[in-house]
Amino acid sequence: MSVGFVNITKNQMEDFILPQGFHPISLDNTLELVYGKRVDQDDLKLSLRLYSGINPNGNSREVGEDAIRLYLFMKKDDNVIKIGGSKRVNRVSSWKQNLQKRIDGWLEFFPNHKCSKCNMPMLERKGKNGSFMGCCMYPICKNTVTIESVK
C-alpha cells in the first residue's frame, strides 16, 4: 500500500458532502459513487459532479486506481456538456481539506469567455493545428477563436 493512502468509505464521504448540498446520482457506465450539486452562474443550468473513487460496495478503490475528481457540467436542451474541472484530490489524510478547496473554488474552472454567436461558454480545444477556443455547444454552434484573441 502506498504511503499516505487512506481508505474513504461511502459514509465518510457522505458525512462530508451531503451537508454541502450534494446528493447521490446514478450514471450509466460509471463504476464509482457519484454525487451532484446544482450551482448557478450567468443564468446557466450548471452542476458540480463529484466522482468519489468509492466503489458501489462503499469502500475506496485500491491505491493508484483512482482519485476524487470534481467537474462542472452544463445542461442545455438535452445536451450535458463538461465545461471544466479541478485537479484531482488524492486519497490522503488531508482529503477533506483538499476537496473543500476544490469545491469552494469551483468558479475558477468556469470559462471566462463567451461565444460571440450564441453567448455560451468557450472552452479550450486542441486541434491538428494546436489549441483554440471553441463554443461548448459544438456541433450546434461551430464558432472558434484563437487563444491569443481572448487573452
- 140-149 long-range contacts (CB < 8 A, ≥24 apart) are 140/79, 141/115, 141/117, 143/115, 143/116, 143/117, 143/118, 145/113, 145/116
| pTM for this entry | 0.82
C-alpha distances (whole Å) from 91 to each of 18, 19, 43, 82, 106 are 19, 20, 34, 24, 19
Tens digit of pLDDT at every position of the chain (151 positions):
445 788 899 999 999 999 999 999 999 888 899 999 999 888 888 999 999 999 988 888 876 667 899 999 998 888 888 888 888 999 899 999 999 999 999 888 888 888 999 988 898 888 888 899 999 888 889 999 988 766 6
Query: What confidence score (pLDDT) does residue 3 get?
Result: 58
Residue 112 is predicted with a pLDDT of 84
